[in-house]
Amino acid sequence: MRLCFDATRFGCGLDGAVELAAERGLTAVEYSFQPFDVTQKAPSLDKTEKAYLAEVKKACRDTGVEISCLNLDYAVDPEDKKAVKKFLQMVAKLALVAEASGCHRISVSVNVGANGSWRESVAELLGEAQKIAAKKNLRLTLRLSTPQEFRGQSLKGWRAMEPQDWRDILSSCPDLSLSFSPADCVWLGIDYLKILSGLVSAIDHVEAHDIEINRTLLNDSGMYGPLWWRYRMPGKGQVDWSQLLELLKLYDFSGTVSIHLDDEFIGEEAEDLSDALTRSVKVLAPLVKD
Tell me: the pLDDT tens digits for 76-107? 999 899 999 999 999 999 999 999 999 999 99
Inform me whether the pLDDT recorded for 120 exceeds 90. no
Partnered with residue 70 across adjacent β-strands are 31, 106
For domain 2-288, the question of CATH label 2.40.110.10 is answered with no
pLDDT 10s digits, 266-285:
999 999 999 999 999 999 99
pTM passes above 0.75: yes
The model's pLDDT over 144-170, given as tens digits with 9 standing for 90+, comes to 999 999 998 999 989 899 999 999 999
Angle between helices 270-288 and 241-250 (to 10 degrees): 50
Evaluate if residue 113 carries a pLDDT over 80.
no
Q: Is 153 left (phi over 0), alpha (psi -120 to 50) or beta?
A: beta
> Quick count: other Cβ atoms within 10 Å of Cβ 108?
25
Look at residue 249 in the predicted model and tell me its pLDDT.
96
Nearest to 29 by CA among 9, 52, 50: 9
The 10s digit of each residue's pLDDT in 14-41 is: 999 999 999 999 999 999 999 998 877 7
Pairing outcome for strands 210-213 and 229-232: antiparallel
Q: Are 194 and 243 in contact (CB under 8 A)?
A: no
pLDDT score of 114 more than 70: no
Long-range Cβ contact pairs of 50-55 (< 8 A, separation 24 or more): 50/100, 52/13, 52/15, 53/14, 53/97, 53/100, 53/101, 54/100, 55/15
- Judge residue 222's burial from the number of C-beta atoms within 10 Å of its C-beta, 0-12 exposed, 13-18 middle, 19 or more buried: exposed
Of the chain, the end-to-end C-alpha distance in Å amounts to 9
Q: What is the distance between the alpha carbons of residues 60 and 77, in angstroms, rounded to a whole number?
A: 34
Give the pLDDT of residue 115: 64
